[in-house]
């Protein structure tokens, strides 16, 4: 019986169950993307990736557990059930005889394939952006309902589906190759350069060209524009009432408002829980964006130190190369190749994800427009989220008149209750084929509170050491202020938290990995970050003075108490 593990790179940006409108074909689409990425890299789909690779369980994505060895990349490694010891030994010998030459050929061809994938990535991104631009969301109300259903299922034109799939393939390539290369880079700097972790994360910082950091740069530019005009700054800071309505009455706010609208045009598809695909976005609630700008305006202006982070990365690379043992030339060449391609994989993963978020916004807006049409026909209720509980095929049946109001309303009610139960239940990390937890979560035993100076922590994700007061942010949309130099503590971190990275002294997140969004953005901003810190939002008290060591993944309580685990 297969075991299925919660897919961390999805759960770390959206821990809630996905809605049927976005998730009805998510597992199948992800499986196709992973197979295509592996085929582009290896020249063929490896045997272990055949069959079902992903599935939705209680609205969350799970991946089938694989035991992958180098030979598994090129040959099947499973013996027939009931095979005796002689047959198993012969099978192992045959796999070695067939697999070793294939692995040698793969070692020669894979780097060329990787270079081709990287070289074509920007063209792929541009093609996907162009396909999305041919069906802007502000014109959906002019389309017939039947056309809207087709647009949701097939895309705006024949070029959309291949462009969407190509971007999905790049996203999976970035995840697969990025994980492997970051692991290889860590091995090189530890084993060959004797690094204790201080150089490794500096090598991964300053990648540049990340669309997710452009978002914060845009918000910082808006804050600078507001500061430049006292009347605008007073409204944005909250010293004068009125918000956006008041700004639109001020002649001197014209430049700020023009910049604000341009920001919404390029970044309005972002928002809290954007990883789930169907949460409300900034374009729908621009006051939230003004609130983020307010947070930045209230803090002192900071110069952009991206050039300094690039210098730190170059200095770290030079330090590693000085420590490499013999054969120095070969090790230097391998180190440089792994570092370069690790950066490219990180960039591809993060940028392709940003485009997938843009597409999910179009899915949401299309669904809402179709929901409005269904409500006008008396098929569903007026609540905005009702349509999110239907698949596009079910919506199409309603539009075509083949599904009754009774059927659609009953489906929505059942799925709403089901989702509420999923949200209330513990999330198993591993399940079996039936979707049942392999090891049902049990309440942890109560432990005595740690001593004030006893460290605890998680996975190191961005280097450096910082001290500050804890600021717990569970819902970034409800925050109106974030003190500069505070330690940001969050359950997870998607785009909505990113502006706080600009002000935070360090970041602590309950979920995530070295290639998670929080870790990647923290490294770009040069902020220490520790991820995978269980129950951090509960255990770290608001206002406690802590020291975060991003190189080693530890958190030390300097003042205040640590709640029991």
pLDDT digits (tens, 9 = 90+) for 545-562: 999 999 999 999 998 767
Domain that holds residue 509: 455-559
Res 125: pLDDT: 94
The yes-or-no verdict on residue 420 having pLDDT over 70 is yes
Res 156: pLDDT: 60
Pick from 547, 549, 550, 545: nearest CA to 560: 545
CA angle centred on 342, ends 100 and 465, rounded to 5°: 130
Q: How many domains does the chain have?
A: 2
pLDDT tens by residue, 31-71:
999 999 988 988 888 877 888 889 999 999 899 887 666 55
Res 448: pLDDT: 46
Mean pLDDT of the chain, nearest integer: 85
Of the chain, the percentage scoring pLDDT greater than 90 comes to 44
The yes-or-no verdict on residue 342 having pLDDT over 90 is yes
pLDDT tens by residue, 423-464:
999 888 899 999 899 875 555 554 444 455 557 889 999 999
3 state SS of 466: strand
Residue 242 corresponds to which tokens in the numbers above? 């009125």
Taking the chain, what is the end-to-end CA distance rounded to the nearest angstrom?
A: 33
Question: How far, CA to CA in Å, does 557 sit from each of 194, 389, 467, 474, 487?
Answer: 29, 44, 10, 20, 12
Res 447: pLDDT: 44
Q: Among residues 348, 363, 378, which one ends one of the domains?
A: 363
pLDDT tens by residue, 196-244:
878 999 999 888 888 888 888 899 999 999 999 999 999 998 877 788 9
Pick from 32, 70, 61, 27: nearest CA to 49: 32
Cis status, amide bond into 459, omega within 30 of 0: no
pLDDT tens by residue, 83-101:
567 666 666 666 566 556 6
Cis status, amide bond into 319, omega within 30 of 0: no
Pick from 283, 303, 279, 325: nearest CA to 16: 279
Is 426 within the bounds of a domain? no
Res 132: pLDDT: 85
Q: What is the CA radius of gyration of the chain?
A: 25
Q: Which of 297-311, 401-415, 469-483 has the lowest mean pLDDT?
A: 297-311
Residue 68 corresponds to which tokens in the numbers above? 């992958």
Is 131 within the bounds of a domain? yes
Is 17 within the bounds of a domain? yes
Q: Among residues 342, 363, 384, which one ends one of the domains?
A: 363
Pick from 263, 308, 287, 362: nearest CA to 524: 308
Beta strands 506-509; 529-531: pairing state: parallel
Q: What is the CATH number of the domain that holds 472?
A: 3.50.30.10
Residue pair 320/189 in contact (Cβ under 8 Å)? The answer is yes
Is 295 within the bounds of a domain? no
Domain co-membership, 351 together with 469: no
Res 11: pLDDT: 59
Angle between helix 328-376 and 145-154 (nearest 10): 160
CA distance 57 to 62: 7
- Contacts with 137 (C-beta within 8 Å, 6 or more apart), sequence order: 361, 362, 365, 366
Query: What average pLDDT score do residues 69-78 get?
Result: 57
Res 446: pLDDT: 47
């Amino acid at each position: 019986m297969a075991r299925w593990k919660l897919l961390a790179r999805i759960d770390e940006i959206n821990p809630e169950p996905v809605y049927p409108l976005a998730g009805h074909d998510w597992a199948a689409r992800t499986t196709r993307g992973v197979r295509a990425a592996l085929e582009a890299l290896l020249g063929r789909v490896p045997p272990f990736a055949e069959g079902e690779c992903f599935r939705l369980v209680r609205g969350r994505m799970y991946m089938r557990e694989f035991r992958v060895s180098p030979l598994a990349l090129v040959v099947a490694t499973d013996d027939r059930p009931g095979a005796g010891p002689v047959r198993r030994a012969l099978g192992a010998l045959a796999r070695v005889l067939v697999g070793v030459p294939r692995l040698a050929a793969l070692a020669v061809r894979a780097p060329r394939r990787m270079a081709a994938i990287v070289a074509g990535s920007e063209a792929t991104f541009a093609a996907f952006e162009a396909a999305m631009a041919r069906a802007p969301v502000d014109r959906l109300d002019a389309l017939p309902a039947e056309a809207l259903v087709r647009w949701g299922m097939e895309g705006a034109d024949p070029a959309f589906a291949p462009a969407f799939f190509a971007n999905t393939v790049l996203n999976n390539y970035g995840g697969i190759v990025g994980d492997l290369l970051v692991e290889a880079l860590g091995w090189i700097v530890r084993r060959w350069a004797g690094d204790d972790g201080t150089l490794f994360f500096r090598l991964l910082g300053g990648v540049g060209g990340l669309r997710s950091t452009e978002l914060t740069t845009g918000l910082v530019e808006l804050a600078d524009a507001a500061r430049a005009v006292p009347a605008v700054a007073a409204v944005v800071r909250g010293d004068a009432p009125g918000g956006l309505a008041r700004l639109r009455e001020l002649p001197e706010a014209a430049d700020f408002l023009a910049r604000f609208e341009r920001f919404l045009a390029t970044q309005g598809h972002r928002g809290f829980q954007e990883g789930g695909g169907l949460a409300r976005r900034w374009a729908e609630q621009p006051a939230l964006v003004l609130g983020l700008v307010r947070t930045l305006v209230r803090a002192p202006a900071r110069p952009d130190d991206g050039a300094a982070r690039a210098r730190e990365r170059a200095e770290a690379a030079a330090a590693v190369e000085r420590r490499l043992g013999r054969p120095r030339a070969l090790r230097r060449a391998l180190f440089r190749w792994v570092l370069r391609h690790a950066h490219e994989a990180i960039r591809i993963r993060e940028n392709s994800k940003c485009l997938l978020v843009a597409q999910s916004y179009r899915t949401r807006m299309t669904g809402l427009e179709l929901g409005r049409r269904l409500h006008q026909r008396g098929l569903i209720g007026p609540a905005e989220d009702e349509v999110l509980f239907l698949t596009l095929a079910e919506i199409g049946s309603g539009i075509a008149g083949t599904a009754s109001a009774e059927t659609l309303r009953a489906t929505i009610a059942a799925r709403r209750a089901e989702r509420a139960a999923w949200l209330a239940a513990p999330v198993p990390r591993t399940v079996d084929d039936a979707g049942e937890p392999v090891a049902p979560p049990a309440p942890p035993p109560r432990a005595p509170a740690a001593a004030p100076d006893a460290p605890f922590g998680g996975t190191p994700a961005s280097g450096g050491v910082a001290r500050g007061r804890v600021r717990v942010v569970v819902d970034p949309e409800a925050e109106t202020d974030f003190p500069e130099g505070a330690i940001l503590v969050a359950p997870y971190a998607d785009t909505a938290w990113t502006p706080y990275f600009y002000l935070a002294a360090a970041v602590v997140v309950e979920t995530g990995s070295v290639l998670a969004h929080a870790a990647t953005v923290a490294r770009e901003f040069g902020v220490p970050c520790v991820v995978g810190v269980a129950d951090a939002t509960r255990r770290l008290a608001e206002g406690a003075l802590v020291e975060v060591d991003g190189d080693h993944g530890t958190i030390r309580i300097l003042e205040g108490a640590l709640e029991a685990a």
